[in-house]
Structure 1
Amino acid sequence: MTPAAFSTGRVQVNKTIAELRRMGKAARTQVPFAALGSYTPTNRDSNQMMDRIRQLLIPELLPERTQRMGASAFAFFRGTAELMEADLRAQPDSTIATFICGDAHIGNFGFYASPERRLLFDLNDFDEAGINPWEWDLKRLMVSVLLAAQANGFKDKKIKQLLPLVATTYRKSIKHMFEQTTLSRFYPMNEVEKLVQASALDEDSSKLLTSIMGRASKRDSEQVVRKFTTLDVRGNLCFRENAPRTTHVDDDVTSHIAAYFAAYRQTLRPDVNLLLSQYHITDVVRHSVGVGSFGSRCYLVLLTSIDGSHLVLQVKEALPTRQQGSQQATHITVALEKTEGQRIVDCQKILQSASDPFLGYFAGTEQSFYVRQFRDMKESIDLTQLDWDQFQTYANTCAWTLAIAHCQSPTAAMIRGYLGNGKQFDEAMSDFAWAYADQVQHDYQAFVDYRLA
């Protein structure tokens, strides 16, 4: 769904902040915190829904995808956004629609470079992005915090203390954003150092976010070339094979990459398009990554400039949202996918404080795709290596950042009105997280029995 569609939706955005806050407060009387924090299980077959998603993926990659998802309940949760979205649609919601990430679990945040080469921290996955109730993102974040904490072996007593604080952090960030002007909210620039200061972290905790800056600054296309490429028998630079994860294939994308690259360039800013005119395609390889995305059609494209330097772009299949895909009885074709790349790109540009200038999209013969720079100062935190204090810091930083993203929507002032200043909301979100974590554990066990038995 595009930004234009938002302005013609059920909420009129040509109102003052005060009016929107009153509307949000009124929504709270209709859907109180207790209702928002409740969870009623739905009548659905989790394995059947997941099988429909599997039908959209590359068959030879499915065994490894299954192994990755079977590693833990948290890994399973990361790969099954369609289940939670289906369940959320059946629960009471705040009635306040905003642009949301759609898959805001704790593993979908990370570091990346702004166009000005400053290190930022933000959401970094938008395959499920769209216009939906804002609390869907917060609920997914909080459930992921709970599951990741359990996977790390942290005690339930500590987790029960943390979860309300994550909701509190989100609420305080929303309030903080509305102490600024509209234009200031539009230019948040989530620089690591500023984010640490704004979220009031102590000196020891802030080291968690600043310690990897040096490592991230060394990750660029030339580093990717050194790690991922080799010379073929003719002495030409090419991607190194690592099947099935990384392999050269002959398919629609690789066969028509020159035409698709030209179409992609037309979706970029004129200056970036002109920059890319100085590069030619050297190699393209299918390269699968992640958990939720593993098995979809993803590629790396090696570009070489007229001065001999390199640029590596990542091409990812722009599938419909996983909830939509899990409901389809027929094969999804480009006729259904044709706007999905634009949806993902538009939502990423809206929700991130600054976006990759190489972010664009194109439509293939049977699928559509979006494109971004690969590993440019990108870094993520290994959650399994965090101690309890670091884990708390990271979870709260993600909540603070999520609220900043939500405040890019004109209806965000309604969120501010809905939340108010009380802590009952924080407890309600914690209650939901515990209740839904039980659902995830049930679905995970059904998956293990079905796929890994």
Structure 2
Amino acid sequence: MEETYQKERTLPRLPSPDQRRQLLLDRRDEKMARSPHAYVRGNTAQYYEWLQAQPGHSLPEGPPIWICGDCHLGNLGPLAGADGSVEMQIRDFDQSVIGNPAHDLVRLALSLATAARGSSLPGVVTASMLQHMLDGYAFAFLPGELQLALPRPAVVRTALRGAVQRSWKELAEERFLETRPIIPMGRNFWPISREEKKAIAALCASSDLRALVTRLKSRGKKVKLEVIDAAYWVKGCSSLGLLRYAVLLGLGDGEYCLIDIKEAVQATSVRYAHASMPRDNAKRVVAGARHLSPALGERTMPQRFLGRGIFVRELLPQDLKLEIDELSVEDAASTASYLAYVVGCAHARQMDWSTGMHWIKQLQTDRHDGNPIPPWLWNSVLQLIASHETGYLEHCRSYAQRRQAS
């Protein structure tokens, strides 16, 4: 394979590879200061510190399955399978481990409650969302023909419809701001070193990456892969400060694909003590993806890169983050129900019928008509909202002081 990065372009002054880390951490702090919801999304560690501090049996103890580990709203969305199908699934697995499925539910509940507060919805709506969240999750454990009756809320219908209709041109315009075969350097894409370029070229010349790219049915196995351009990708919040690259590959006849390379690090999520998982973090992430979201897992592979574990996937136009800028009173409950159903499907496919039914029964403990939200869930959300509100304000104060000092 021939390395054909674009010739040097006239660029604004951008950070060199050895200047990245502090700038990335500063940007993460800036993003987390924007809103309580952004703070919750970017601060998985605080959630797991809270979990670790809980007394034994304060949460239902579910069967040992692969869980997302960071199951907030931004980590759900439409995903395309290699066969062209598009489904709403979990889309991030950095924190995926074999653990208690209740941890995903509590994390989702915190995210929903924070989104409701950010949308200025009254507390009674938040309570209704948590109730419907449990109902939607349980719905995923019913026989398949009964699941068809679950209606999709407007935000989900819009996201899926937009995903199905998206083309490569739209993906390029969104990611690159232009349709020419080039990754424009700027706020989101930074230059990479010679060493990084060499490692990317070697990765893209491997048989493993060829197999990944040609997995789509529309591509022949002998397609010629050519590295057109590559850049450090300033993306996400929790991943800021880690290795992250965007690689534009040419496939011949004017066809391109976008490869996402991301460093895998030690999970902070809580795993079951005796669970058997890959020790290599990249392999752990890919294993979690394949169990929880097959559409994405089959398009992801683990690799070694510059001495570190990474996972690699091709981004397709249909892969979208579920953007919920504001929840309405009318759609809040149905949105909570359906998103919990998506998480439930990811969990249920790892359990047999009897295990699944026993797990749903555990979740319903102390739940009845007069108390539709079980105490374990309600108390968890109350504690987490309080601790994250405090943490968010402290983060903002500290961030503002640092800015003034600089």
TM bucket, shorter chain: 0.7 to 0.9
| Pair 1:359 & 2:292 matched | no
- Pairing partner for 1:424 from 366, 369, 378: 366
Deviation by residue 1:234-254 (Cα, 9 ceiling, x = unmatched): xx94211123x2122216433
Hey, what does 2:251 align to over in structure 1?
305
Hey, what does 1:49 align to over in structure 2?
none
Q: Partners of 1:99 and 1:106 in 2: how far apart? A: 18
Hey, what does 1:250 align to over in structure 2?
193
Q: TM-score, normalised by structure 1?
A: 0.71
1:276–1:85 distance in 2 versus 1, CA, 3 Å: farther
* Alignment check: 8 A CA contact 1:168 1:423 kept: no
1:156–1:78 distance in 2 versus 1, CA, 3 Å: same
Deviation by residue 1:323-358 (Cα, 9 ceiling, x = unmatched): 59xxxxxxxxxxxx9811111111101101433543
The AA in structure 2 aligned to 1:225 is A
1:153–1:83 distance in 2 versus 1, CA, 3 Å: same
* Alignment check: 8 A CA contact 1:318 1:368 kept: yes
SS in 2 for 1:84: helix
| Pair 1:283 & 2:229 matched | yes
* Alignment check: 8 A CA contact 1:345 1:359 kept: yes
Hey, what does 1:138 align to over in structure 2?
105
1:396–1:276 distance in 2 versus 1, CA, 3 Å: farther
Q: CA RMSD in A?
A: 3.0
| Pair 1:409 & 2:357 matched | no
Note the C-alpha offset of 1:407.
1.5
| Pair 1:347 & 2:291 matched | no
SS in 1 for 2:313: strand
Q: TM-score, normalised by structure 2?
A: 0.79
SS in 1 for 2:163: helix
* Alignment check: 8 A CA contact 2:61 2:102 kept: no
The AA in structure 2 aligned to 1:210 is R
- Pairing partner for 2:382 from 423, 434, 442: 434
* Alignment check: 8 A CA contact 2:68 2:104 kept: yes
1:168–1:224 distance in 2 versus 1, CA, 3 Å: closer
- Pairing partner for 1:447 from 369, 383, 395: 395
* Alignment check: 8 A CA contact 2:72 2:111 kept: yes
Deviation by residue 1:95-148 (Cα, 9 ceiling, x = unmatched): 432210000112211012122212210111111001111100001000111111
Note the C-alpha offset of 1:257.
0.9
The AA in structure 1 aligned to 2:366 is Q
1:416–1:344 distance in 2 versus 1, CA, 3 Å: same
Hey, what does 1:386 align to over in structure 2?
327
| Pair 1:240 & 2:203 matched | no
Hey, what does 2:336 align to over in structure 1?
395
Note the C-alpha offset of 1:402.
0.8
Q: Partners of 2:118 and 2:353 in 1: how far apart? A: 33
| Pair 1:208 & 2:175 matched | no
List runs of 5+ in structure 1 lacking aligned partners.
1-56, 185-193, 325-336
Deviation by residue 1:368-416 (Cα, 9 ceiling, x = unmatched): 2111122431223321243222232222111111111111324784353
Deviation by residue 1:63-90 (Cα, 9 ceiling, x = unmatched): 2211110112221111111221232133
The AA in structure 2 aligned to 1:434 is L
Hey, what does 1:33 align to over in structure 2?
none
Note the C-alpha offset of 1:218.
4.0
Q: Partners of 1:361 and 1:276 in 2: how far apart? A: 22
Number of paired residues?
A: 360
* Alignment check: 8 A CA contact 2:190 2:234 kept: no
* Alignment check: 8 A CA contact 2:232 2:245 kept: yes
* Alignment check: 8 A CA contact 2:73 2:108 kept: yes
Residue correspondence of structure 1 range 35-184 to structure 2 within 5 A: 58-91=21-54, 92-93=56-57, 94-96=60-62, 97-174=64-141, 176=142, 179=143
Q: Partners of 2:127 and 2:170 in 1: how far apart? A: 42
List runs of 5+ in structure 2 lacking aligned partners.
1-19, 271-277, 368-372, 402-406
The AA in structure 1 aligned to 2:282 is G
1:227–1:275 distance in 2 versus 1, CA, 3 Å: farther
**Structure that is richer in helix per residue:** 1
